Structure 1
Amino acid sequence: MKLKCNWSSSSLKTKIRLLFAVILCVSILFSFLFIHYLYRNLYVNEVEQSLLDEGLKLKSSYTSGEISDEFKSHLNWYNTISESEILLVNNPRELSACLPFEINHEGLISEEERRNLLRGEHLIKIGYEERFDRQIMGVVVPLLDENKLVGIIYLYLPLAPIEEVFNRTTPLLIAVGIIFFLVIFKIVNSMSNTFLQPIHEMRKYAKELAKGNFKNRIPVRTSDEIGGLAKTFNQMSEALDESDQKKKDFLANVAHELRTPLSYVKGYSGVLQEKLYETEDEAEKYLSLIQRESERMQRLVNDLLDLAQLEGENYPLIKEPIAFSQLVNDTVDRFDHRLQEKHLMLQQHLDDEIIIIGSPDRLQQIIYNLLENAIRYSDKPGTISLSSTQDQESIFFSISDNGMGMSEEEIIHIGERFYRTDKARNRKEGGTGLGLAIVKQLVLLHGGRMEFHSKLGKGTTVTLVFPNELNKKGLM
């Protein structure tokens, strides 16, 4: 457990170094095993095959019968020119007496091996001999005469130690080992720098994030997982930066919106408190102004609370089937006085068969805010048109006016908090700059979208598109 904890708390550089050490040890072990493999499978097998070939070649000179002096002379001559030692023995049991070193003849050729010799099979013998201080390889080839063992040819050769076999290649092996070490070290060092540099930068920038500095970005140098992590970190930084900027803008806008009514309330209440008015009518006027600005602040706070709830992830929206044209007419009735006051004509082209699935109160709030905006921005006698249509997929509701209109740049910002196309007039008439932001959020909660089409001096058309859920379910 302690080792596990130490490993988990170690730095990445330490882990990479340990990994490099493990790789190096495994490589050395592999090299050691590979050399022994070469020694065993190349050198030893080559000696064994060479001795066997010599023994079989000498055996081919024997025909049959008793071993002749001529055959013995031939073996003695061949022994002088061969690297191996060659012995001719009539009885395998006498082999130990012929060898130039002490050996247990009973252990040299067993009864089982003697039976193998009688079948014409050769024997391979390997053993350590103290006199030579090395391994001895021997090959025993039988000489048979009609299934009778008349003698054996014994060839043996001291095996060179492994260090002698590879004596010539040792410098090469050392050179290759050094080059291998340097290459591995360079690769590991390069990989560690590639892996660790972005992580070090992320660690440094994460500390900056904790301090509230969201401007830093990590250079993305690769397209692998580390590069992807760096991109994700940058995206997070950008999101936090944007969120932080929005928070600052929001607080600045709230402070700005509250500053004016608070200054009115403070100023006029001071006038009333100090009795700096001349008539009672003037005092009533100041009280009315205080009341108006207080109501404006109350609307601002209510709108902010409403918007905060709507932007929550689990806002409860209770939906039900609603006759849409009736909902629109009920909302329009609340604006009769405003329409007459501004000499505006209202035209309605509503499809009475439209049934929408939604929240009655929230849908009425959407229509109310949009109609209030249309009336507010219509300064001269004009026309406001309401229309609704549907198809198999969607329900469309449009409000059009011929008022002041908006530019393309202004349309982009519609729906943002506290955004006004005509700040002076909107503030004068008591708007909070949150109405369309609330409408936008309510439309999204109903699964719809909001579209604006406007030209300066020619008016604005707002179109709401809602899903036609009853048609999709085949109930209409």
Structure 2
Amino acid sequence: MSFLRSVVGKLWGTIIILVALVLFILTLLLLQYFENFHVNEAEKTLTQVATKISHMLEDYELEEEALTIASEILDSHLANGVIIKDSSMMWLAEGMEDAKQNEAAFFNLIEANKVLSGSQVIKQEKRQSEETIGDLFIVGVPYTIKSGNIGAVYVFQSIEDVEETTAHTKTAIFISATIAIILTTIFAFFLSSRITAPLRKMREAATKVAKGQFDTKVPMVTNDEIGELAMAFNRMGRQLSNNIMALNQEKEQLSSILSSMADGVITINKRGGIVITNPPAEQFLRVWSYQQGLNEEEKELPADVRELFTRVVSIEKEQFADIHIQGRSWVVVMTPLYNNNTIRGAVAVIRDMTEERRLDKLREDFIANVSHELRTPIAMLQGYSEAIIDDIAQSPDDKKQIAKIIYDESLRMGRLVNELLDLARMESEDVTLQLEEVELNSFIERVTRKFNGMVNEKNIALAFNKISSEKLTIDQDRIEQVLTNLIDNAIRHTPENGKVEVKVKSVSSGVQFSVSDNGIGIKGEELPYIFERFYKTDKARTRGRSGIGLGLAIAKKIVEAHKGQISVESKIGHGTTFSFYIPRIS
């Protein structure tokens, strides 16, 4: 059945049907023609023979000689004859026994009276019953006897002889038609195969092209329309290959652009399904899926994004929204995508604004804190300066006290400015370390010696442990700044008769420093923010020699510049321990 459905089968079948139909009609026409032809030829021949014999009987002087010649003529034409003369029958050839035995019936059969009256008779007689004589083709011709009477010459031929000739002709026609059908079948199959062979090759090539083999070529074996079709197919394959290559390049370029973007991109189809995402967008979807308890593999738009998509599709304008998930903040900007004049979806650009907003908050806090810290010393400088100008201080001691206050506030402003400059340089990564090898025992002893006056005034014990000949490559001034800040904070937050201890411990890859006190401690909820700028744990002690909230932030930057880490442990009523680790330089 597959062969009949193919082009070869259809073309082959069409040719066979057409040729068979033509041969069938031609055979019918030939059969009809030859059947009539043999009958007409038999009639014509018998008529000519009968006429010739009648002329011979009229012309020949010797009747016996004429009858002999007539018998030979009849034998040559496989016919029989009879002459009716003066109511008697004379047979010219052998055979016709049935007619000889029943001359009366034969006389009526051949319509002798009609011929004897001068008319010609031509008839076919089929056997209808046992009484009739033979299947004959009869021609009767009148002739004039020398006595002046009318005689009749009859020539007979068996219809079976005519039909036998016709049957041979039919057989020849049927054999010829059969041979023609066979030859046509072979020729049609050869022709259809030859015509469709390029089409089959083209089908195979099209199948390969459909599988992605765009370099497939169709051989051009002819210069006709099929050859032109093969040429057009090859040209189409090359163009398609070029277009696919260009699309792949554009796709790779777009994929590279999307992958390298810091912002997330989500392409959404008209039904709200996710089509394309890049890594930042996938991270956003994972965070949302985790919050909702969904499987990370199930990509689904958050409810806020779906609502934003609905608005974009309905009003066909760009929309944006803020989304907050797990303490992080994203801004989603969504724009409709068009297919001609119809919306086919939307594209959403997602930006993680957490860090920007944190920096904005730090900037706002920085401005507020600097303004706050500068307001007090400036106000005091302004107030006491006006007191001097207005001569409010009369005695030398009052003037000296006012000058002392102005000096202390100017020092406070100087410390604030210096710490702000240090922090700004460190945050801009413009930190240059002056590294040198330092003997730690003498270094720690020199740093702690600076605080003897403070600890004696508050009756606080300041101690440190010595380690054996330990050396470390550090920026001595920067680490001294860190230790100074930590020890100063510990002393200020330790009550009288308290204890502050500085410890240095050698570990496998570096040195661990720690500053511990048994002071008031720090609340647990404040520990995560202790190293932020301007953060103060005890707002009540923020005047005088107290810090402005930058010391620990600067200390963290210095330790990190040494590739180290700093941490804090504290408990209310049990004191605080600041620790930092400095690795050895290999």
- Structures share fold, TM-score greater than 0.5: yes
Distance in structure 2 (CA, Å) of the matches to 1:378 and 1:188: 65
Distance in structure 2 (CA, Å) of the matches to 1:370 and 1:228: 52
For the 8 Å contact 1:311–1:441, the answer to whether it is kept is yes
* Mapped pair 1:290 → 2:406: yes
The verdict on how the C-alpha distance between 1:338 and 1:241 changes in structure 2, with shifts beyond 3 A counting, is same
Report the alpha carbon displacement of residue 46 of structure 1 after superposing the two structures with TM: 2.8
* Mapped pair 1:392 → 2:508: yes
Q: Report what 1:47 is aligned to.
A: 10
User: Which of the residues 367, 371, 378 maps onto 1:255?
Assistant: 371
Report the alpha carbon displacement of residue 218 of structure 1 after superposing the two structures with TM: 2.2
The verdict on how the C-alpha distance between 1:121 and 1:203 changes in structure 2, with shifts beyond 3 A counting, is closer
Distance in structure 1 (CA, Å) of the matches to 2:514 and 2:346: 47
For the 8 Å contact 2:487–2:515, the answer to whether it is kept is yes
User: Which of the residues 557, 561, 568 maps onto 1:445?
Assistant: 561
- Aligned Cα RMSD in Å? 4.3
For the 8 Å contact 1:404–1:456, the answer to whether it is kept is yes
The verdict on how the C-alpha distance between 1:404 and 1:345 changes in structure 2, with shifts beyond 3 A counting, is same
Distance in structure 2 (CA, Å) of the matches to 1:459 and 1:349: 19
Q: Which has the higher contact order (CA 8 A, sep 6+)?
A: 1
Matches within 5 A, 1:62-81: 69-70=170-171, 72-73=173-174
SS in 2 for 1:428: coil
The verdict on how the C-alpha distance between 1:449 and 1:283 changes in structure 2, with shifts beyond 3 A counting, is same
Unaligned runs of 5+ in 1: 1-40, 59-66, 79-85, 93-115, 128-186, 209-213, 221-225
SS in 1 for 2:486: helix
Q: Report what 2:232 is aligned to.
A: none
Distance in structure 2 (CA, Å) of the matches to 1:89 and 1:335: 124
Q: Report what 1:323 is aligned to.
A: 439
User: Which of the residues 291, 306, 324 maps onto 2:422?
Assistant: 306
Question: What amino acid maps onto 1:276 in structure 2?
Answer: I
* Mapped pair 1:218 → 2:332: yes
Q: Report what 1:274 is aligned to.
A: 390
Distance in structure 1 (CA, Å) of the matches to 2:380 and 2:420: 21
SS in 1 for 2:580: strand
Q: Report what 1:357 is aligned to.
A: 473
Report the alpha carbon displacement of residue 280 of structure 1 after superposing the two structures with TM: 2.7
For the 8 Å contact 1:72–1:88, the answer to whether it is kept is no
User: Which of the residues 534, 551, 570 maps onto 1:418?
Assistant: 534
Distance in structure 2 (CA, Å) of the matches to 1:376 and 1:202: 60
Q: Deviations over 1:37-74 (max 9, x none)?
A: xxxx956423323257779999xxxxxxxx97425237
Matches within 5 A, 1:131-146: none
Distance in structure 2 (CA, Å) of the matches to 1:457 and 1:271: 43
The verdict on how the C-alpha distance between 1:44 and 1:454 changes in structure 2, with shifts beyond 3 A counting, is closer
Q: Report what 2:138 is aligned to.
A: none
Report the alpha carbon displacement of residue 241 of structure 1 after superposing the two structures with TM: 1.2
User: Which of the residues 409, 420, 441 maps onto 2:525?
Assistant: 409
For the 8 Å contact 1:404–1:458, the answer to whether it is kept is yes
Distance in structure 1 (CA, Å) of the matches to 2:182 and 2:520: 127
The verdict on how the C-alpha distance between 1:300 and 1:43 changes in structure 2, with shifts beyond 3 A counting, is same
Matches within 5 A, 1:23-62: 42=5, 44-50=7-13
The verdict on how the C-alpha distance between 1:71 and 1:394 changes in structure 2, with shifts beyond 3 A counting, is farther
For the 8 Å contact 2:380–2:409, the answer to whether it is kept is yes
Q: Deviations over 1:117-142 (max 9, x none)?
A: 8xx99545999xxxxxxxxxxxxxxx
Q: Report what 1:172 is aligned to.
A: none
The verdict on how the C-alpha distance between 1:87 and 1:254 changes in structure 2, with shifts beyond 3 A counting, is same
Report the alpha carbon displacement of residue 374 of structure 1 after superposing the two structures with TM: 1.3
The verdict on how the C-alpha distance between 1:125 and 1:350 changes in structure 2, with shifts beyond 3 A counting, is closer
TM-score by length of 2: 0.47
* Mapped pair 1:435 → 2:551: yes
Question: What amino acid maps onto 1:217 in structure 2?
Answer: V
Report the alpha carbon displacement of residue 328 of structure 1 after superposing the two structures with TM: 1.0
Q: Deviations over 1:252-291 (max 9, x none)?
A: 0100111111111111111111112343322222221111
Q: Report what 1:346 is aligned to.
A: 462
For the 8 Å contact 1:350–1:386, the answer to whether it is kept is no
Higher CA-based Rg: 2
SS in 2 for 1:426: coil
For the 8 Å contact 1:324–1:355, the answer to whether it is kept is yes
Matches within 5 A, 1:190-229: 190=271, 205=320, 217-218=331-332
Aligned pair count reads: 315
For the 8 Å contact 1:392–1:468, the answer to whether it is kept is no
Q: Percent identity among equivalent residues?
A: 30
Q: Report what 2:298 is aligned to.
A: none
* Mapped pair 1:383 → 2:499: yes
Distance in structure 2 (CA, Å) of the matches to 1:188 and 1:348: 68
Distance in structure 2 (CA, Å) of the matches to 1:350 and 1:444: 25
For the 8 Å contact 1:296–1:430, the answer to whether it is kept is no
For the 8 Å contact 2:440–2:470, the answer to whether it is kept is yes
Question: What amino acid maps onto 2:11 in structure 1?
Answer: E
SS in 1 for 2:542: helix
The verdict on how the C-alpha distance between 1:398 and 1:190 changes in structure 2, with shifts beyond 3 A counting, is same
Distance in structure 2 (CA, Å) of the matches to 1:395 and 1:327: 14
Question: What amino acid maps onto 2:445 in structure 1?
Answer: N
Q: Deviations over 1:151-181 (max 9, x none)?
A: xxxxxxxxxxxxxxxxxxxxxxxxxxxxxxx
Q: Report what 2:355 is aligned to.
A: 239
Report the alpha carbon displacement of residue 422 of structure 1 after superposing the two structures with TM: 2.0
For the 8 Å contact 1:448–1:467, the answer to whether it is kept is yes
More moved, 438-447 vs 340-349: 340-349
User: Which of the residues 480, 484, 490 maps onto 1:374?
Assistant: 490
Q: Which runs of 4+ in 1 moved over 6 A?
A: 52-58, 86-90, 191-198, 200-203, 226-229
Distance in structure 2 (CA, Å) of the matches to 1:42 and 1:258: 96
